[in-house]
Amino acid sequence: MRLAGKAAYLFFLLYMLITSLYAQSFSDDETIDNLLFFFEELFIFDESLSFGESFMGDKTFPGEEPAPLAEDGFYFEAPPLIVESPAFEIRSFNAIFPHFSRLQRMRVMDEDGLRHSFMKDEPAMFIPNPDTGIDLLGSVMNKNPSHLIEALALIPYKERELGLLDIYNALGRIEKIKNYPVPFNGKDFYIFTESTRIESARSRKAIPDPSPAVTLPFSETMYVHLKEINLGNLFLRTDISINVYGIMYSMTNFTDVRYFFIPVMKAERYITIIYLEPVKEGMLIYSVTGFYLPGFFADRVNLTPNINRRIKLFISWITDGLRIQENPAADRRANR
């Protein structure tokens, strides 16, 4: 009863205040209508606030006095707002590449995966479903390449399913790139003799790979130096971007590329974009490479087989990095 009395007194004060304000602008009938509407709205309370609770938000129990009103007004605590996000479901390989034949689906899970080389005026072969938002070819064509190579592989899980953080850490092992050979004439051939991060495009000082990350960045840019057996020093800018489903990893030359000391490719005319996504069947690795060769060099130097072998090397490097993420203890034992 004490609470009801205080509430009635409070509403009476409000009534007097509002009556004086409305009287200046409206007729008597309008004033009454507006006041009735105001009090009707004021008395529509949420079920969580009743006269069994004080306006300070404290519940009253039998035998207890309600908490006194604050002298400077009153408030009540609204129920917490709960927002439910939709459940995330990983996609399937077939959803991303719906038009593949049965043979292609089998070959994509082989050790070499699928690769396709073509010229700029020829059609691509591996086109993702447009609804997936994956458009590597469009980004590569912005560089106006003369030659292109597609690669596609699906790496089945062994120890456990992998996530985006596993991909990110697998891509961070820059110092390990030089350890991966490619087969050539029946022998293992090491293409890179050095592989390291460098401080920036201006500073070529080598820096070590960081420890495996425990959180994902939204994006990242780093600079890499690769010493190649034929092309010499390669300096690459690598950009990582992360979305809900996967990680985009691009490599672009920020200096000229030379072939046996002859400049054959200007800066910013080579790009490889690798997209990695955990799908239901395993880890999807999809890449598109583009590079520009002037007609004079293109007629005399066939770089496509060489770059094709390097793409195979990068896929092997990524695959091994993913296996290490599946079982880090096995990698530590191997490095003892």
Distance of CA 222 to the CA centre of its chain: 17
Shared domain for 22 and 160, answered yes or no, is: no
Question: What span, in angstroms and rounded, lies between the C-alpha atoms of 279 and 98?
Answer: 14
Sorting pLDDT into bands at 50, 70 and 90, what band is 333?
A: very low
Provide the CATH number for the domain around residue 153.
Answer: 3.30.530.20
Q: Is 20 within the bounds of a domain?
A: yes
Q: What integer is the mean pLDDT of 210-237?
A: 93
Average pLDDT, the chain: 79
- Domain assignment present for residue 174? The answer is yes
| Full-model pTM | 0.72
Please indicate, yes or no, whether residues 273 and 129 belong to a single structural domain of this protein. Answer: yes
Same domain (yes/no): 161, 265: yes
Residues 229 and 304 placed together within one structural domain of the fold: yes
Which tens digits make up the pLDDT trace of 129-165? 999 999 999 999 999 999 999 999 999 999 899 999 9
Domain co-membership, 177 together with 292: yes
Whether residue 47 lies inside any domain: the answer is no
Residue 44 neighbours by CB distance under 10 Å: 6
Asked if the model's pLDDT at residue 93 lies above 60, the reply is yes
**Residue 5 in this model has a pLDDT that exceeds 90:** no
Regarding predicted confidence, which is higher, 212 or 76?
Answer: 212
Residue 140 belongs to some domain of the structure = yes
Determine the structural domain holding residue 21 and report its residue range: 2-42
- Judge contact between 265 and 292, C-beta under 8 A: yes
In a domain, 154, yes or no: yes
**SS3 for 132?**
helix
Shared-domain flag, residues 29 and 175: no
Whether 82 maps to a domain, the answer reads no
- The reply to whether 86 falls in a domain is no
Token pair recorded at residue 47: 């079920």
State yes or no: pLDDT of 120 exceeds 60: yes
User: Does 28 share its domain with 111?
Assistant: no
pLDDT over 90 (residue 238): yes
How many distinct structural domains can be found in the chain? Answer: 2
Strands 232-242 and 206-207: unpaired
290 CB burial (10 A radius; 0-12, 13-18, 19+): buried
| Residue 25 falls inside a structural domain | yes
